[in-house]
Structure 1
């Protein structure tokens, strides 16, 4: 039995160790990490998954960002990781679906990520046109999801670091 719950401050180092295990060295050099610097993850959306022994099995984080001159608010999903001993069990999908539902309940209207379209399309993500992640990012990997219909319509511009309170939009 796996339990999903909100990430707590005391989970931070264990989650970072999981990300180190699951991702290539140098992951923090990616452009999405520049958007996360000095910005806390969104409370209640970043989650951990623990097995019956309390061992960390997976984690997902969300960060607020803004897009373009109009400063449209959005959530940046990632990273999401599942410990190798739990991969293939659907845990990553459970983390994504559960946290996206919570984001919608809290009034967020749009989510973006940098990832593999064949994996994320099953959750409703599609390629975003006109939304540019800081380089170096392959534009074909910039994907978006509407939590509110048409919330990506007319949203254009560079993805920028968040400033201000974590107000959904």
Structure 2
């Protein structure tokens, strides 16, 4: 592994990212409730990041606009890192970059569905998301929220829409 570099996603990255997601999650990823929020939604490329090991895509995180009961927030996911590089904190760095970029441009909070112990290391919690209702079945303990400013999670309860 060479030095990992990070940059915002570009349109040219899309085929490489799709191939990475296919390797990481398989075709079943489209059946998940979280995918409903990405379907027919507009990716926010300036908040979505890629990690590169030389000229090889090593990881990706994508961000999407959604609302919780009409309040705009950004939805994180999917995040994927090549299997042999998963112990190098590339995923954590991608999440931190995406959250920092989202805060800089004024988003109030980031929502995701994921592993609480993993995402808890970068400030995501289940408690602020307890009233968030995802489209379709999901384990509510995996619905996590990270406020990006003081009061960023206040009043965020209700259905999530794209």
Shorter chain as normaliser: what TM range? over 0.9
Structure 2 unaligned residues grouped into runs of 5+: none
1:65 corresponds to = 66
Find out whether 1:32 has 2:47 as its counterpart.
Answer: no
Find out whether 1:115 has 2:114 as its counterpart.
Answer: yes
RMSD (Å), alpha carbons? 1.0
Which structure has more helix as a fraction of its residues?
A: 2
| Paired residue secondary structure (1:44) | helix
Q: Deviations over 1:83-133 (max 9, x none)?
A: 012110111111111111111111111001001101111111111111111
CA distance in 1, matches of 2:143, 2:65: 16
CA distance in 2, matches of 1:87, 1:157: 34
Runs of 4+ in 1 over 3 A off after TM superposition: none
Number of matched residues?
158
Structure 1 unaligned residues grouped into runs of 5+: 162-169
Shift of 1:16: 0.7
CA distance in 2, matches of 1:158, 1:148: 22
1:167 corresponds to = none
1:7 corresponds to = 9
Task: State the TM-score, normalized to the length of structure 1.
Answer: 0.90
Contact 2:33 2:137 in 1 (8 A): yes
